[in-house]
């Protein structure tokens, strides 16, 4: 009789995709993520007993676990097929602890892509649960629990309820705060550049830029110096001193890893990191492709490795040869180097099968799935192609004591750019003065005709504000956090805690974010230190590699953290009390203090709640309008975001002449059947925040807890809700009939 096997995956979406590749002796079930975790109502970690964690079955997972136990009783073999990372390894270990299957019959299988080839290959070579990975995850979990349960109550007491701090989120906020202060402190410096529009024997006209004066690098500090130099060039011949022609090869970029996928999806399509990961998860777990059934379209999306399987490279080379020609395929497949800490057992994010071209599957995908899949597919194909080749020319032109330079480049061979062009941050674009343009055929000694001298005034620019893409890039370069955590971190500091606001693409710290950072900085230097946070990530890697004990890592951190915590509780300024203004309350005579809320600073009576006097600070009577990329459908003027009595809304900048308005949505569709509205944040007449449908009064859907754009992992509801209560933050399913509930970390790594 054939052995019966139970296969446990994390997500119910994977069940259908994987089951079709296995015979009837295999039963595939989903754990819906973790089945055990630290308790919600207590610390669950004992520092006096080697930081031993107390794991309990999550109440919301009891029913799921009971079903898995029933299935395990009928099975001879258990295959743990959770995600191929630390978190997946830990989930598998907890499952193996809870399910009554002989340890020698428990196997660990992983696949980087959910395809028939990958799934069958994984079952052909099963392994065992990697306890070193489990230890690394356990160390991170315990560290975050210690920080969350010890530090967050301090913030609630000293600053404001519902706040949190964490090993990585606090550093990310500090980077944004420090950048904002650098921008505010920046003093621009004036400088000038000089450009000559010239004509040669042959067209076209071209522009050369001043580079040297008297053999030294040109430096024009103001208009008078520039005009004086221009006067000295009157009547001076412009002569071609040298012409250098060459070739420049532009190499393709590597296939995506998690962080670069988040960056590029943000730059090209305006996706948040959280949205990128949510859509990528859908593509990985499986899309119903009609005749092909449920199919995983991309490889595992949480990875920091750029390695590509040989079979995938061969598939790509075959497609490129057939569609573009042999000249687009390098003699040997390109190889790329991952960062030192990358998990090389993983692959880059790529299409699971090249044959599923974006155009051939787009009818099965949502709009968001289409654009992200196309991005992944094209980036991977480009990474396997030849470089683009440019013919370059650089001409040095002498004019008296001055040396001007003209540069040009023309594309000779498209190479990988025939498929894909990487975007750049706005601040990473080449300066106007260094731009390349068409340069005609020139000969050394040729005298050119000066058409125009064009002086241009410039000012040095402050450092740019972070965007989600540039912050992720900076965190990665500094070795802070891991690609799999960035989406959660950004979602926490922007959407959940309000430490940072997004203005168009720019990330700007709120007063709350600045206050929390300033409160933490003097007492918890390690938690906010970039280098220390990076070293902690290295320690977690060493635990996974077997070079360090997890308890030693936690103990080393906790010794100093406990001292800092006591000092902060004793000496930390109580921000809630507010800074005295020196004024007396006009209602009761007590002192007035400066306080702030998520909507900005205000003046209030120190005797609150007995006295409720308050007033806005000068200049803060009305929040500044925030620009949008939209135009008014009525009059064509720009639309702006305003902060009104009942919450934020979008209105025409031409008010009061034009009174067109629309709500600011959360990007979450209304769950009422047949309703096409979006959920919006509103405030009641008493100032209480609630969330309703933009189609009100036609649709009266209302929810009191903040909707989070993460589908319920249990029933698939389009969003969950979040609520802070008694020192913890709880996520629940939006559907009353679903009992999904889990604790959201008050400390996100």
SS3 at position 259: helix
SS3 at position 741: strand
SS3 at position 196: strand
SS3 at position 215: coil
Contact 141, 114 (CB under 8 A): no
In the sheet that 728-733 helps form, which strands lie side by side, from edge to edge?
Answer: 706-708, 720-725, 728-733, 741-744
Using alpha carbons, select from 89, 47, 131, 46 the residue that is nearest to residue 543. Answer: 131
Distance CA 54, CA 96 (A): 17
Longest Cα–Cα distance in the chain: 100
Distance CA 666, CA 687 (A): 19
Distance CA 723, CA 732 (A): 8
Distance CA 275, CA 549 (A): 35
Token pair recorded at residue 225: 């110096």
SS3 at position 112: coil
Contact 117, 125 (CB under 8 A): no
Distance CA 666, CA 706 (A): 10
Distance CA 731, CA 273 (A): 19
Cis, bond preceding 197 (omega within 30 deg of 0): no
Distance CA 122, CA 111 (A): 6
Distance CA 295, CA 373 (A): 13
Contact 508, 498 (CB under 8 A): no
Using alpha carbons, select from 481, 490, 491 the residue that is nearest to residue 731. Answer: 491
> Do strands 5-9 and 77-80 pair parallel, antiparallel, or not at all (unpaired)?
parallel
Catalytic positions, please? 300
Using alpha carbons, select from 401, 14, 365 the residue that is nearest to residue 216. Answer: 401
Query: Kindly report the CA angle at 598 between 597 and 604, in degrees rounded to 5?
Result: 15
Which helix (H) or strand (E) is 284 found in, with range? Answer: helix 273-285
Contact 187, 199 (CB under 8 A): no
């Amino acid at each position: 009789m054939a052995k019966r096997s139970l296969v446990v995956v994390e997500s119910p979406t994977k069940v259908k995709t994987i089951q079709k590749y296995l015979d009837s002796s295999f039963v595939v079930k989903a754990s819906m993520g973790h089945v055990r975790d630290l308790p919600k109502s207590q610390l669950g970690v004992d520092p006096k007993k080697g930081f031993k964690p107390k794991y309990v079955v999550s109440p919301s997972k009891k029913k799921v676990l009971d079903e898995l136990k029933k299935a395990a009783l009928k099975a001879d073999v258990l295959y743990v097929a959770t995600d191929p990372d630390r978190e997946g390894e830990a989930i598998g270990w907890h499952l193996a602890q809870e399910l009554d299957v002989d340890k020698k019959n428990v196997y660990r299988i992983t696949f980087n892509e959910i395809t028939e080839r990958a799934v069958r290959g994984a079952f052909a070579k099963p392994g065992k649960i990697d306890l070193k990975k489990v230890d690394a995850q356990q160390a991170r979990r315990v560290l975050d629990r210690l920080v969350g349960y010890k530090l967050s109550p301090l913030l609630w007491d000293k600053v404001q309820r519902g706040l949190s701090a964490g090993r990585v989120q606090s550093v990310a906020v500090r980077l944004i705060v420090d950048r904002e202060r650098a921008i505010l402190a920046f003093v621009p410096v004036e400088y000038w550049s000089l450009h000559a529009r010239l004509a040669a024997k042959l067209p076209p006209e071209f522009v050369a830029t001043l580079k040297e004066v008297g053999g030294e690098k040109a430096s024009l500090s103001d208009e008078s110096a520039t005009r004086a130099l221009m006067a000295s060039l009157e009547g001076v011949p412009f002569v071609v001193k040298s012409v250098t022609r060459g070739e420049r090869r532009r190499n393709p970029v590597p296939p995506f890893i998690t962080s670069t996928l988040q960056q590029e999806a943000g730059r090209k399509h305006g996706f948040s990191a959280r949205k990128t990961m949510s859509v990528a998860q859908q593509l990985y777990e499986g899309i119903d492709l009609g005749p092909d059934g449920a199919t995983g379209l991309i490889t595992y999306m949480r990875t920091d490795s750029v390695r590509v399987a040989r079979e995938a490279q061969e598939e790509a080379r075959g497609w490129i040869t057939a569609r573009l020609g042999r000249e687009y395929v390098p003699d040997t497949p390109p190889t790329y180097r991952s960062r030192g800490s990358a998990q090389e057992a993983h692959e880059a994010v790529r299409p699971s099968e090249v044959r599923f071209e974006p155009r051939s599957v787009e009818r099965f995908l949502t709009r968001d799935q289409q654009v992200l899949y196309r991005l992944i597919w094209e980036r991977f194909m480009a990474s396997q192609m030849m470089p683009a080749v440019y013919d370059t020319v650089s001409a040095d032109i002498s004019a008296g004591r001055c040396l001007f330079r003209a540069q040009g480049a023309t594309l000779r061979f498209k190479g990988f750019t025939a498929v894909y062009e990487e975007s750049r941050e706005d601040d990473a674009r080449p300066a106007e003065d260094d731009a390349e343009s068409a340069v005609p055929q020139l000969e050394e000694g040729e005298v050119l005709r000066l058409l125009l001298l064009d002086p241009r005034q410039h000012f040095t620019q402050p450092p740019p504000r972070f965007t989600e893409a540039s912050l992720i890039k900076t965190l990665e370069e500094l070795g802070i956090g891991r690609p799999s955590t960035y989406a959660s971190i950004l979602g926490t500091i922007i959407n959940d805690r309000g430490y940072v606001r997004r203005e168009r693409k720019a990330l700007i710290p709120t007063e709350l974010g600045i206050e929390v950072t300033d409160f933490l900085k003097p007492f918890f230097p390690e938690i906010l230190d970039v280098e220390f946070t990076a070293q902690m990530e290295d320690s977690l890697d060493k635990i996974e590699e077997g070079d360090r004990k997890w308890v030693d890592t936690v103990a080393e951190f906790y010794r100093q953290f406990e001292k800092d915590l006591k000092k902060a509780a004793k000496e930390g300024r109580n921000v809630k009390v507010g800074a005295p203004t020196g004024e007396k309350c006009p209602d009761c005579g007590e002192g007035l203090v400066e306080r702030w809320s998520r909507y900005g600073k205000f003046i209030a009576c120190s005797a609150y709640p007995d006295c409720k006097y308050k007033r806005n600070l000068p200049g803060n009577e009305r929040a500044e309008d925030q620009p949008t990329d939209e135009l008014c459908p009525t009059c064509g003027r720009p639309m702006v975001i305003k902060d009104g009595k009942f919450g934020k809304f979008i209105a025409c900048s031409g008010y009061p002449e034009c009174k067109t308005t629309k709500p600011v949505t959360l990007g979450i569709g209304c769950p009422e059947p047949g309703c096409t509205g979006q959920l919006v944040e509103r405030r009641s007449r008493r100032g209480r925040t609630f969330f309703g449908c933009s189609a009100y009064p036609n649709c009266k859907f209302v929810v009191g807890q903040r909707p989070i754009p993460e589908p319920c992992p249990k029933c698939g509801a389009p969003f969950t809700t979040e609520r802070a209560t008694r020192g913890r933050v709880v996520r629940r399913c939006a559907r009353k009939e679903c009992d999904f509930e889990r604790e959201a970390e008050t400390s996100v790594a």
